[in-house]
Structure 1
Amino acid sequence: MKCNVLSDFLWGSATASYQCEGAWNESGRGLTQWDEFSHNSDKNINNVTGDNAADFFHKFEEDIKLMSKGNQTSFRFSISWTRIIPNGVGKINYEGIQFYNNVINTCLKYNIEPNVTLQHYDLPFSIAKEGGWTNPKIIGAFNNYAKVCFENFGDRVKLWVTQNELRYYAHCSYLQGNYPPNHILDFESYAKTLYYGMVASALAVKTYHDMKLNGMIGIVHACGAVETLHDSEEDKIARFNADLYYIRSILDPALKGYFPQELIDKAKSSNIDISFIDQKYDAILKEGIVDFVGLNVYVRNLVKPYSGEESYMSFNNQGKNSNKLEGSAIKGWFASDDDPSTQKNFWGREMYPKCIYDCIKYVNNKYPNVPLMITENGVASYDQVEDGKINDDERVQYTKEFINWVIKAYDEGLPIYGYYVWSTMDLYSWVNGYEKRYGLVYVDFENNYKRIPKKSWYEYKKWIDTFQRNHLKEK
């Protein structure tokens, strides 16, 4: 399915409400899961909050104007559920409606296409404390919230996303334990989050389609091609298991309308209680097929066979103060592998730009001709101001390589319709705080949140201009 909004390739950048807005207790906004977590020093290991974040709430016009000056044609942002419905259910906050109307109208004023995500990690605390995505009551609450957004913004917003990275959110919240509610290796809650989250997504998709609005609605998935360094029979099994875990657990229900039987069978054989699966939701899943998929691509999923007796998770929220690598090992499924030939960043993440091209091909091979966008891709760094400038050369180098691989996919006729840098400006990085910077625009968090475009902002502007001059859209 395609509509006019994808007639031209979209170049943009992305944010998320909790990470950029600030104003956590202004204009009627309710408490989110991340407010409660970040204000609790026993849980928040780095003791940094998003209370003010990048102050986008007060500086959105400046930020959108900078995007326009930088040749960007689309802005991906999320709506804070508790700005719209402070308690998650019940009374609507019309100050929140007005704020997002202002953001959307400012985008259109500067010829920026809004790409709006309904849920990017920041659940209402009133819903989170009742189990969040592990409680089926959230399905109706989320659909009501989505409908309010469609009714108020759907006349101008043509691109909608239900969920941002549901699987990765569940992974961090219930397996790694570094996101609230900070459970470790709680596979049942992880499974419930995926199940009820995808049912809720499907119901919102159906609601949007039933309203016959002139736009598209999709889902955003943290994605990377599943690969192994070797090709033994054990490696093939590890790849199959990792594909179920990383890819098909989200994209099968999103694009086919059901969870793969192999995933259900593997969960049962792993003694994961999935008795909560209910046939009454089957029709919702089948009727809620998305129109497009957004891919958040940072790394490939490099795996190997794992015969260990214990599952474990490895992550690095300490940056250069730690030598940990990102990774997982799930008993009876697979373990993450490490390619010694590739560079890793300070946070233990592989830097391998070809992964973005491999991911586009991988997803298109599994789900042919589905419209795809790269909804996040970015490079983290410890950026410093020198003589009033930020020469983020490593970000420039890697972003250019990533973009070249995206353009190669585009030139080969793959169904790729947009690319968004993560992030528009420096943000609060989940748990990490503010030293870990991704932005094209530097934010001086100590000096009234002053904006300074980085070298990468100027280079991105040039790359967009070059693409637009050299590529006439013919498909």
Structure 2
Amino acid sequence: MRRRSFLKTALKVTAAAAAGGGAMAALTREGVQAAPDSATRTVAFPEGFLWGVSTSSYQIEGAVAEDGRGPSVWDTYSHSFGRIANGDTGDIACDHYHRYAEDVELMARAGMKAYRFSIAWPRVMPQGTGAVNAKGLDFYDRLTDALLAKGIQPWPCLFHWDLPQALQDRGGWTNRDIAGWFTDYALAVTARLGDRARNWVMLNEPSVVAIFGHGTGGHAPGMTGRDTCLKAIHHQNLAQGTALAALRQVGGKNWQLGTVLSLQPSWPVGGLDSNYPASLMWDAVWNRSCLDPLFKGRFPALLEADFARIAKPGDLERIEQPVDFLGVNYYSRMHQQPDPQGLFGTGYGSAPEGTRKTGMDWPVEPDGLTEILAELQEMYGNPPVYVTENGADYPDTVGPDGRVNDRDRIGYLRDHLLAAAKAIDEGCNLKGYMAWTLLDNFEWSEGYRRKFGLVQVDRKTMERKPKASYDWYASVIRNNAVPLR
């Protein structure tokens, strides 16, 4: 079925499905609601399905000036007046740098078998290039060994937004030389940890880095403009491809190499034909600008002329590299309509009436995860996929027993896992799921006021307190199955 037909058909039933508070009413690609068998109490996942959790360095580590770490663009950005809610910074974050053993123990207690964490580039190379800071790599050495001792696979991500400020001063992602800088950094990190860490993620959400950090200015480094945004996308793609080729050569068959993209289906607001071109343009920017060069060796048609002004001969050949897996971060769909003031002439609009919302006012649309996994199956060769981020902010309330009973978060996770199970049943090559996130952390421009964690963190004492969702997720992992209620 053509994407446009699917979107217009599915819009008719999405609101009813999203408004439900129990098990998700599954939506097939033909737009038909298929109620789960009421006699079935759980939905099982395939044997060997990988369960884990994801975090990122700047959001949890803290210790920003310890053991030789240099400043990142997020240090600079968060210390700029008015950029972050409540004036928060990642200076201390969750103090994971000192408390990593406690956090690894929390993962082990829940039965998690994978931990996607990110390496802080400025901790390893304070200037972004040149000398490697041994003490910085020592931390990731300790973390890797602690994970393996508990039977947890380390999944290091080489870049999750905290670019060294020293490289930003040289143009950062707008300078195509960064492809070489990133590759040198990747080789240095894998040379130290690659004897134990087998699964390597190149980048986290390059389109988000480009759009919000280099297009709208709402994230570090705070740059704006359409051309700047497109340069940042292209040079991240180029850096990723260059590093993949280099690591493939030195790592051989010992490593599984991949990357992580934020993939959010783009729908026209209200299903209106007049909004459909805007939804296609935003889909090209957010999704296809990274997917198409990697898997098809071409730029999305709607942006081909723009990228042609930036790219050089041979760039697409460098970008189109084989990957052993694709990480998918999914939160909701993007509902788009024309906006002359928008970066690409588009803007966000309302989800269908009745759609549930998270604490950040994001739509709760689990069937969008099924949709994006189906697209990977049908349009991109059905690569091995891991959901590497999925979670929700809700205003947690501490009960009389001192515990957060976060039923809304449990409902969000359950419905998305049921959507993931549906995708597997339809032939999607989904291999694992990593919840976002372990700890309530520094949520970028939102500071600490947003709560995505399975574990509460006391901002004064740093004490960790597992929420009800932590125990629920541990039960899912233990049973390799999701309860319908």
**TM-score bin (small chain):** 0.7 to 0.9
In the TM superposition, what is the alpha-carbon distance from 1:205 to its structure 2 partner? 0.5
Instruction: Work out whether residues 75 and 114 of structure 1, in 8 Å CA contact, stay in contact via their aligned partners in 2.
Output: yes
Looking at structure 2, the residues matched to 461 and 70 of structure 1 have their Cα atoms a distance apart, in angstroms, of: 4
Amino acid at match of 1:121: W
Residue of structure 2 equivalent to 1:118:
158
Equivalent position of 1:457 in the other structure: 470
Matches within 5 A, 1:284-299: 284-286=318-320, 288-299=321-332
Cα shift at 1:71: 1.4
Residue in 2 that maps onto 1:345: 358
Q: Does 1:68 align with 2:108?
A: yes
Instruction: Indicate which of 182, 185, 189 corresponds to 1:142.
Output: 182
State the one-letter code of the partner of 1:365. E
The reply on whether 1:309 has 2:310 as its aligned counterpart is no
Mark the CA change 1:345 to 1:334 in structure 2 (over 3 Å): closer, same or farther: closer
Name the structure 2 match of 1:154. 194
Match of residue 422, structure 2, among 396, 401, 408:
408
The partner residue of 2:206 within 166, 169, 189 is: 166
Q: Deviations over 1:378-437 (max 9, x none)?
A: 010222333221111111111111111112222333100111110011111101111211
When residues 246 and 60 of structure 1 are mapped into structure 2, their CA distance, relative to the original with a 3 A threshold, is same
Distance 1:206 1:252, change over 3 A: same
The answer to whether the Cα contact below 8 Å between 1:155 and 1:213 also exists between their aligned partners in 2 is no
In the alignment, which of 370, 378, 394 is matched to residue 365 of structure 1? 378
- Provide closer, same or farther for how the CA distance between residues 383 and 232 of structure 1 changes in structure 2, counting only shifts above 3 A: closer
Aligned match of 1:436: 450
* Equivalent of residue 103 in structure 1, options 132, 139, 143: 143
What SS does the corresponding residue of 1:383 show, helix, strand or coil?
coil
Query: Which segment is superposed worse, 127-136 or 11-20?
Result: 127-136
Instruction: Structure 2: give runs of 5+ residues left out of the alignment.
Output: 1-45
Counterpart check, 1:466 vs 2:479: yes
Deviation of 1:280 after TM superposition, in Å, equals 4.1
Residue identity matched to 1:367: Y
Q: Indicate how the Cα distance of structure 1 residues 405 and 283 shifts in structure 2: closer, same or farther if over 3 A, else same.
A: closer
Cα deviations by residue, 1:111-132 (Å, 9 ceiling, x for unpaired): 1011111000000000012221
Deviation at 1:376, TM superposition (A): 0.1
Q: Do the aligned partners of 1:33 and 1:128 also contact (CA within 8 Å) in 2? A: yes
Aligned length: 436
Contact 1:46 1:431 in 2 (8 A): no
**Matching residue's letter, 2:258:** G
TM-score, normalised to structure 2, is 0.85
* More RCO (CA 8 Å, sep 6+): 2
- CA shift, 1:44, in A, is 3.8
Give the 3-state SS of the residue equivalent to 1:106 in structure 2: helix
What CA distance in whole angstroms lies between the structure 2 residues aligned with 1:282 and 1:394? Answer: 43
Q: What is residue 420 of structure 1 aligned with on the other side?
A: 434
Say whether the 8 Å CA contact 1:225–1:362 is kept in structure 2.
Answer: no
Q: Which amino acid in 1 is paired with 2:457?
A: V
Q: Which amino acid aligns with 2:434?
A: Y
DSSP-derived class of the 1:248 partner: helix
2:443 maps to amino acid: S
Deviation of 1:235 (Å): 4.8
| C-alpha distance after superposition, 1:169-225 (max 9, x if no partner) | 1111123321123234x0010000011110000001101111115121111111122
Counting only pairs closer than 5 Å after superposition, residues 225-240 of structure 1 correspond to structure 2 as 225-228=265-268, 234-240=274-280
Pair 7,282 (structure 1): closer, same or farther in 2 beyond 3 Å: farther
1:245-291 CA distance string (max 9 Å, x none): 222100111222332344213x38xxxxx6332114243123x3322
Q: Which residue of structure 2 aligns with residue 317 of structure 1?
A: none
Q: Which SS does the other structure have where 1:205 is aligned?
A: helix
Structure 1 equivalent of residue 243 of structure 2: 204
Q: Which amino acid aligns with 1:466?
A: N
Task: Quote the RMSD (CA, aligned, Å).
Answer: 2.1
Shift of 1:17: 0.2
Deviations 1:438-460 (A, max 9, x none): 1111111112x111111000000
Deviation per residue, 1:85-132 (Å, 9 max, x gap): 111011111111111011111111111011111000000000012221
Q: What is aligned with 1:300? A: 333
Contact 1:227 / 1:239 at 8 angstroms: preserved in 2? yes
**Separation in 2 of the partners of 1:147 and 1:107?**
22
Q: Which moved more, 1:48-57 or 1:37-46?
A: 37-46
Task: Report deviation, 1:358.
Answer: 1.7
Question: AA paired with 1:310?
Answer: Q
The alpha-carbon distance between structure 1 residues 334 and 25, as it changes in their structure 2 partners (threshold 3 A), is closer
Q: CA deviation at 1:47?
A: 1.0
Partner secondary structure for residue 375 of structure 2? helix
Say if 1:208 and 1:7 are closer, same or farther in 2 by CA, change over 3 A.
Answer: farther
- Report % sequence identity: 31
Q: Tell me the CA shift for residue 349 of structure 1.
A: 1.0
Over 3 Å counting, the alpha-carbon distance change for 1:435 and 1:260 in structure 2 is closer
Q: Partner letter of residue 451 of structure 1?
A: R
- How much does 1:334 deviate? 6.7
Matches within 5 A, 1:171-186: 171-184=211-224, 186=225
Secondary structure (helix, strand or coil) at the match of 2:317 reads: helix
1:79 to 113, 116, 119: 119
1:320-369 deviations in Å (ceiling 9; x for gaps) = xxxxxxxxxx32x6754432220223322111222222221122221122
| Unaligned ranges ≥5, structure 1 | 1-5, 269-273, 313-329, 471-475
